[in-house]
Structure 1
């Protein structure tokens, strides 16, 4: 299942879900070449806190994506390059953050995928109070541990775990349909393009 999911772009999944689980477009990749897909491990942080991120890294399974609800705080980072190196070292596939990170250049250089609202110079606090495996909202979309995340240059989408098989089937079918449409529209250059436009534009 996961192997099939990793081959799908976010756009096909968005089409399959009707766009209802598209995360706020302001949560973007630090590097446009990144594409991740995997199981979510949710992290809920008090404002300006980040201590629970380390707990999540300790608990994470190979290929998990940490989905971090930082309440949209853009002043204090949930992680820097050292924390990212720990996550990568234990096999975490990436971070999706409703907040910001720091040391972005180092994260890009170590090729650790991060999708966030941006960057900051300010470190987060470690006074405690964060929670793991609780339902969170990230970029306006509800996420629970065990749901699936796909993220690439176009954005981030969430797939509820109970819908994963059906959504993958629909997304694959949509991709196949799109490829067939493109082949037909370009089969004979301008002639087939005009034929397509005449068919769809009334």
Structure 2
């Protein structure tokens, strides 16, 4: 699986999206805190009630380096699912990134970590630690069902989910799409005449 993930990491999210016919995109409101962030790894899933992050900490014990911590925080915006300390723990433990349909706080210090976090933005209010929730179960994050072990890929364009049982198929289709895009660019983006010819071939006959 590691080799497959490494190959997927080298392909643009847009090619992977095309290979999946545009399905399995998380809500576009879930964005990286910095545009340069890119993630690719298997999901460790955690479901927490709005404003409670005890199970986020518990989930960190079950991951391995490179995994992506995916938090179903119910789209909560008032209370954060994590601050800079919790995000710092994820980085120290070697997670490949954090994705959540919730908000963080301490956003400036999190950005200073240069550690990939994809979420709904920032808030002031801290999380509670009541302890409700579940770990490594199917969750809904950003409107998409995510199972433990599914592959999460994200960058400035957004985040998508590749079901683990379809990973090889999606990789093959994405590589094919990437090669077609390269050929198209080499043939159509050479000069003005080539660009006009390509456009003409796309347009219906009059």
TM category (shorter chain) comes to: over 0.9
Report the Cα distance in structure 2 between the residues aligned to 1:186 and 1:127, rounded to whole angstroms. 57
Moved over 6 A (4+): none
Total equivalences in the alignment: 201
Report the Cα distance in structure 2 between the residues aligned to 1:96 and 1:195, rounded to whole angstroms. 43
Q: Secondary structure at the match of 1:22?
A: coil
Q: Secondary structure at the match of 1:122?
A: coil
Q: Secondary structure at the match of 2:95?
A: coil
User: Cα distance, 1:7 vs. partner?
Assistant: 0.7
Report the Cα distance in structure 2 between the residues aligned to 1:7 and 1:104, rounded to whole angstroms. 28
In the other structure, the counterpart of 1:148 is 151
Unaligned runs of at least 5 residues, structure 2: none
* TM-score, normalised by the number of residues in structure 2: 0.96
- Cα shift readout 1:61-94 (whole Å, capped 9, x = no counterpart): 0101011000000011111111111111110111
Report the Cα distance in structure 2 between the residues aligned to 1:171 and 1:46, rounded to whole angstroms. 36
User: Cα distance, 1:46 vs. partner?
Assistant: 1.1
Asked if 1:104 is matched to 2:107, the reply is yes
* TM-score, normalised by the number of residues in structure 1: 0.97
Report the Cα distance in structure 2 between the residues aligned to 1:71 and 1:101, rounded to whole angstroms. 14
In the other structure, the counterpart of 1:190 is 192
